[in-house]
Structures are given as C-alpha cells and as structure tokens.
Structure 1
Amino acid sequence: MTEAIYDWMRNLAFFFLFMTAILNCLPDNQYRKYVQYFLGLLLLLVLLRPLLSVLNLDEIINEKLDLATLELELKNSKDSALSVEGVQEGFLNRAYEEELESQIKMMLEGKEIEVQQVTVSLTRGESLAVDRISLEVSNPEQAMYQRDEAKIVQDFQNKLDGVKTELSQVYQVDESHIDISR
C-alpha cells in the first residue's frame, strides 16, 4: 500500500516538473491559457488514477475506448469502401470483409481468446452492411484440476457471450447472425 502511495507521489512530482518545463518553454503567453487548461486535465487524470484503479474504472474506460475505436474504424472502413463505386466494387467488398475480419481478430486476441478463423459476410444493397459473422475460437486457459474445468468453461462461455454482444453492437448485426464455434 505504501509503495502505491509512493508511486503516486512520484508520478505527481514528475508531472509538476513536466508541467513547469512545458510552461517555461512556451515562447509567447498567447497559448499559455490553452496549455494550462490541457495540463490541468492531465493533472486530474494523474490525481484520480489511484481511485480509478481501486474501483476498476480504468478497465471500464479502456473497454469503452476500445469499443469507440472499433466503431470509428468501422465507420472509416465503410466510408472508404463506399467512396469508390463501379469497376472494382467486388474487389473492394472483399477487401472490406478482410479488414473487418482483421479488426475482429485483433479484438479477440486483446481479450485473450485464441482465434482459428474469422469470416465476415456482407450484404450488398444500397450500402454495405455486415450480414453474418462466423468465428472459430478456442480457450487458451487449461484447467490444472478437473474440478476447475467447469469454472473455466463457464468463464470462457461468459467471455464469448460478451464478445457476441459487443460484435452485435459495433457491427449492428443480430446476435443470431453471429456464430461462434469452438
């Protein structure tokens, strides 16, 4: 506990040194108030970090940030796929599917799920939309004792259910169109 407090105090000291150096290096006072505002926001984060970690809010914030990043990447991928029409439409659709498969694979690996195969199918109407997602996954965690195996299987199933819900939200696909096999 005392080590955590010392780390927090050390981080505060480094931050104040950093803040002082930045403010002294500014050539004009023209941007000083904007830099102070930004550094004040950073100071709040440094001050609240112990509280966030105790309440596990840092993990929740990271999950929300990952979800927002995935949604932004999806929107950017859709925009780039829709901007080119005509001759190369089939090629672009396949490239879009591959990009989505790679995003999903990276998300699953970030959640410590081993991925054998990811397949994304698109509907080609007025706009591109994800029709079906098929995943082939396995649990990297193995039970040392047989009595632990049921808990590990249940935890993995809960993790897969969360992944299914997250994929449904991000890619706007009905959960019945997301197939996960082991």
Structure 2
Amino acid sequence: MKEEISSWVRNLAVFYIIFTAVIQLVPDRKYERYVRNFMGLLLIYMVCIMLCTMAGKSSEMIRQFSTEYNAEITRLKLKENKNLQSFYINEEYEKEIRKIILEILKSTGIKKADAAVHIEGENLSAEIYLQQKITEEQEGRLENALWQKLGIGKENCQIIADRNGKTTVGSAASDGNSSGSDRISDLRRKQ
C-alpha cells in the first residue's frame, strides 16, 4: 500500500513539473487556456486511475466500460441500419404509388398532372397537381380509383388545380401587391 501511495505521489510530482514546462512553452497566451483544460483532464484521469488501482478494480472497471460501450455501439448501428432500410423502402414505395397515381390520372382522362406521395408512419397521403381543369365527374372517378386501388381517402388526398394551367403551389401571387413592396422607392419619394 505504501509503494502504491509513493508511486502515486511521484507521478503527481512529475505531472506538475511537465505541466509547468508545457505552460511555459506555449507560444501565445491565448492557447494557455486550452492547455490548462487538457492538462486538467489528464490530472482527473490520473487521479481516477490511481484511486481505482488502489481499490483494485481498475481492470474490472475498464472491462465493464468496454463491454457496455461495445454493446451500445452495436445497438446504435442496428438502429441506424433499421432506420436507413425503412427510409429506402418508404422512398421506393412512394415512387411506386406515384406511378400508380399517374396511371389512374391517365385512365380518368387527365393528362397534364403530377403527383407527390408522402408516407409518415402508417399514414399515406397524396398531393395531385393538375395543370388543366377537370370536371366533377373526373374528380369523382379519380377519388374512387384512389380509394379502391390504394386506400387513399379524400382526407388524405389533396387535389391542387390552377385556373391558368399552372400549378398554384410554389408560384408567385397573381393578384395584389407582394409583401416585400418597393420600400426603397417610397423612402426616396418622401425625401
């Protein structure tokens, strides 16, 4: 026990000598803070290892930490692989459903259209962008076909049509002033 304590004190003395030398060799004072933090962490590590060695449990503690760390890494990898796999499956599923929706649109006589499909958990929703006007009969056939072939009800299907043959989503406002009006010209007029 005395030998362990004397080696511990010797190691701490050597550490403080090296610590002082390193601080003196730092070229710029702005780096001194980082060196002190690093050396403080080393000191904490040394004290913990020495205390565990004195208790006789350092190898057991390291082995247990290593085992738990490896198990956690394995769990994280499995979870990441599962999430990645489900992401790619959902992406391909969305593409296939989009193809089916485009076929349904063609079969109902709607040629100028596009679709977007979203899968969130168990919920399947679709957005259909029309570039032409459709009749109520076509809309009814479309909704029936979506329900029968894909199980997409009216509440999960959004049909977006535009009066000028352009999609309304993402286009500029056609009426009124934009929210970012020409304030610079207003300022110039006032001056």
TM range (shorter): 0.3 to 0.5
Greater radius of gyration (CA):
2
User: How high is the TM-score relative to the length of structure 2?
Assistant: 0.35
User: How high is the TM-score relative to the length of structure 1?
Assistant: 0.36
Greater relative contact order (Cα 8 A, min sep 6): structure 1 or 2?
Answer: 1
